[in-house]
Structure 1
Amino acid sequence: MYNNNGSSSTPSSSSSSSEAGDMKSALFSPGEPLRQPRTTPPASDGGAESRSPIPSGHNSSSAVDALVKNSKLSAAAPEFVPGNYASFQDDVYSDGSEDYYPETSLADFVQDFVSHLNSSPGSFESEIDYITDMLNSCVTTEEILQELVELIYVQSTSIPNFAYTGARLCNHLSHHIRLSPASGNFRQLLLQRCQTQFEQREQAVRGDPGTQKRFHYYVLFLGELYLNLEIKSRKDTPGRANVLLGALKELLNTLFSHADDPNLMCAVKLLKLSGSILDDTWKEKGQSDMDEIIKKIEDVLLDVKCSRDVKQMLLKLVELQSSNWGRVHTASVSSDATPDNDPNYFMNEPTFYTADGTPFTAADPEYSDKYQEILDREDYFPDAYEENGNDL
């Protein structure tokens, strides 16, 4: 055999013992006691057997110790997060930086969190406080506040199906953005921006398809803003922005005055969204504005040559309004509700099935007999537990 420096050497019992000892020292920690091998290991010749991580002469306990020593698992490993979980905060700090804004502009940050909320609207409640804190840390001047309002307005009126989340976002920021310069706070600047677009409604409603589409997004966003924007009154109770009430009526008049299919469809969507609230508010004020709007719809159905689908939408809308927007008047006191005076009495009752598969609810005249039949069939009362004691 040859040693490391290439010279020839003759194997002996002493050299075999030395090599075996070195191999054990390399495989086990110095402070760990070793068990005596059952058989004397053969002299190592540097072959495959000597490179095995588990010596053949040792028991299973030593093998486990060797595996533990060579394992890459660590108690100090970071917290495990499922692969399908996405957090906006994780996205912001994915580069390991301590501060976001020295490397990213306000426009990029707004676009990032709007995109995140649009793709994961259910994360709004868990992310909004973090987003607000980040915005408060950078919105330090009047110019930056105006830029923020413009960015959020553009995003809310250009992304399909983002109007509702955008309105919720605007409501939250209107109460939590701390900077309030002389030109106006977040809410005031937002309403001023909406007013600017409102004044251009006549040009927008007659514009090219792209201009009309952006105008329709604006109309639906304004409807969501009316439903979601809270303004505290003198009594410190939140209420809706009544300044938007008149604007929505004028926008509806504008859409019906230029009654092509896209404008009519936008008007229908707005009324389905906010018609019941608008109707209630106008009635509380003693105004008949909704009756005037329904009259405009009837005139459109008689005079305008719109598509059959749009006419069906308008007819359904008139029927919806005549049925109190699909709402059912329930008993004034819930405890006084009975099957005779409350059509929703059995609405939330569970559905059961008889032995032959026939469904029935509490509204069924034979409910008691059928339900008792189920209890008897399932042998419910004598034994409600499995053999191992767990609840069925």
Structure 2
Amino acid sequence: MDESFDRAPGAGRTRNVLADPNNTAGSDTKGTLFNQREPLRQPRTSPPFDENNVSTADVMSGGSFKRQSKPQQSANANSTSASRGFNEVDSVVKSSKLSASAPEFVPSAVNPYEDPSFYDDDESYYGEPTLAETVADFLGHLSSSPGSFELDVEQITGMLNSWVTTEELLNELVELIYTQSTAIPNFAYTGARLCNYLSHHLHVSPPSGNFRQLLLKRCQTEFQQRDAAVGGDPETQKKFHSYVLFLGELYLNLEVKSVKGPPNRADILLAALKDLMNSLFSKPVDANLICAVKLLKLTGSILDDAWKERGHPHMEELIQRIETILLDATCSRDVRQMLLKLVELRSSDWGRVRAAAAASNATPDNDPNYFMNEPTFYTEDGTPFTAADPDYAEKYQEILDRQDYFNDLDGENGDESELYDSEDEMEPEMEEAFESFCLETERKRQQ
């Protein structure tokens, strides 16, 4: 092996160096090449500290270590700066009070104490919902899902029992339910059912009255303004009509416990409904008449029975007023038609069917449901008819005759082979034409 071989890293390699033809000495060439080489650069990162095992983050948190922004000019400057940095870091580490086993790191600029008054302005936003918000939520739920009333009403009542414990809150609850029941469209029925359930299961009962008594007082306040409401502006009439229909639902659904026997309806509402209808008929405009028709369709049969039991001819009086309005009032044609239909409905006992005769003794004369389950047939031209049709026997016989005719064609009353044979036979001209077609096809195929 050549003794002059240089084992130093990078020996014998140059970068952008031109060869000197006058230089023939190998040693001189080696020295020239080595001298022309650039000095080694200092590393970009500081070397690890041997004496103390301190992370860069801990040193930087002390605030004494600063990264140099200017490039190093020489190796001596680098070594001098590095040694100075080591001494500074070593002093910071020795005097530092930081510990790696500390549970958490809290900078000195952060105040761990929070002033409770800072959240006073947002207490209403983050606080619990009010009674009005809660009642509006579950009434909206019952309005959108009335079929879940039986499943949800017990939970709602339990929540209200834990919430409504004073007379003031009970009055607020009554006002909220009354307002929502008369304001939400088509919610009067569900609202009346809810009022009936709460009247029996709400525990709070202050001296001023329980839930049912306070609700009736609230309805009485609106009842006393009936004469002014029927002649008011359209918005006032609309609110009054919603109240009237809600009171009708309340009469049908509100039950009052009796000492003996089953619960009864509130008789005070029976008299109130008669006065309300008289007020509506006293101002026979279209909106009032439509409300009266809706109320009588809803409660007419119940009111009629209740007044007959007490011997009061109130329903006959109301029907007479309707007939008078039909003759004298200048209502629209549609409203007049509604009133006529209502009079017809009452003449048919409100469309009710009394107890039907026994099945063994039922006849078309004594049982109005005699033909209810009979099938519907159709004539040849598509006209439907049932057993109640006067010409039922004749039309049904035509269907049977037509069915027998088609049965004969299908072979049930004859020979199927004759039918099929007659369909398969061909006339002589057709046979001759078919043979000519077969021969022509065969000749073309052979060509």
Structure 2 length as normaliser, TM-score?
0.56
Q: CA deviation at 1:340?
A: 4.1
Q: Quick one: which of 188, 208, 218 aligns to 2:233?
A: 208
Structure whose CA Rg is larger: 2
Partner deviation per Cα, 1:139-197 (whole Å, 9 max, x = no partner): 11111111111100001111111111111111111111111111111111111111111
Partner deviation per Cα, 1:72-115 (whole Å, 9 max, x = no partner): xxxxxxxxxxxxxxxxxxxxxxxxxxxxx961111111111111
How far apart, CA to CA, are the structure 2 residues paired with 1:239 and 1:248? Answer: 17
**Identity of aligned pairs, percent?**
67
How far apart, CA to CA, are the structure 2 residues paired with 1:146 and 1:351? Answer: 58
Does residue 318 of structure 1 match 2:343? yes
Instruction: Specify the SS of the correspondent of 1:325.
Output: helix
1:231 is matched with: 256
2:306 is matched with: 281
Does residue 125 of structure 1 match 2:150? yes
Structure 2 portions without partners, runs of 5+: 1-125, 408-447
Structure 1 portions without partners, runs of 5+: 1-100, 378-392
Does residue 165 of structure 1 match 2:190? yes
How far apart, CA to CA, are the structure 2 residues paired with 1:304 and 1:106? Answer: 47
How far apart, CA to CA, are the structure 1 residues paired with 2:330 and 2:212? Answer: 41
Q: Quick one: which of 272, 276, 280 aligns to 2:297?
A: 272
How far apart, CA to CA, are the structure 1 residues paired with 2:361 and 2:193? Answer: 36
How far apart, CA to CA, are the structure 2 residues paired with 1:320 and 1:362? Answer: 26
Q: 1:236 to 1:352 in 2, by over 3 A?
A: same
How far apart, CA to CA, are the structure 2 residues paired with 1:275 and 1:116? Answer: 30
Q: 1:203 to 1:359 in 2, by over 3 A?
A: closer
Instruction: Specify the SS of the correspondent of 1:180.
Output: coil
Q: CA deviation at 1:345?
A: 3.3
2:215 is matched with: 190
Q: 1:177 to 1:350 in 2, by over 3 A?
A: farther
Q: CA deviation at 1:230?
A: 0.9
Q: How many residues align?
A: 270
2:271 is matched with: 246
Residue 268 of structure 1 aligns with an amino acid whose one-letter code is V
Q: CA deviation at 1:231?
A: 1.0
1:22 is matched with: none
Q: CA deviation at 1:330?
A: 3.2
Q: CA deviation at 1:118?
A: 0.9
Residue 118 of structure 1 aligns with an amino acid whose one-letter code is S
Q: CA deviation at 1:337?
A: 4.4
Q: CA deviation at 1:244?
A: 0.4
How far apart, CA to CA, are the structure 1 residues paired with 2:360 and 2:187? Answer: 40
How far apart, CA to CA, are the structure 1 residues paired with 2:244 and 2:321? Answer: 18
Q: CA deviation at 1:217?
A: 0.1
Let me know the Cα RMSD of the aligned residues: 2.7
Q: CA deviation at 1:322?
A: 1.0
Instruction: Specify the SS of the correspondent of 1:207.
Output: coil
Q: 1:120 to 1:250 in 2, by over 3 A?
A: same
Does residue 256 of structure 1 match 2:281? yes
Q: 1:283 to 1:212 in 2, by over 3 A?
A: same
Q: 1:291 to 1:359 in 2, by over 3 A?
A: closer
1:109 is matched with: 134
Instruction: Specify the SS of the correspondent of 2:264.
Output: strand
Q: CA deviation at 1:309?
A: 0.8
**Contact 1:330 1:343 (C-alpha < 8 Å) held by counterparts:** no
How far apart, CA to CA, are the structure 1 residues paired with 2:265 and 2:359? Answer: 27
The structure richer in helix per residue is 2
Partner deviation per Cα, 1:42-97 (whole Å, 9 max, x = no partner): xxxxxxxxxxxxxxxxxxxxxxxxxxxxxxxxxxxxxxxxxxxxxxxxxxxxxxxx
Q: Quick one: which of 151, 166, 185 aligns to 1:141?
A: 166
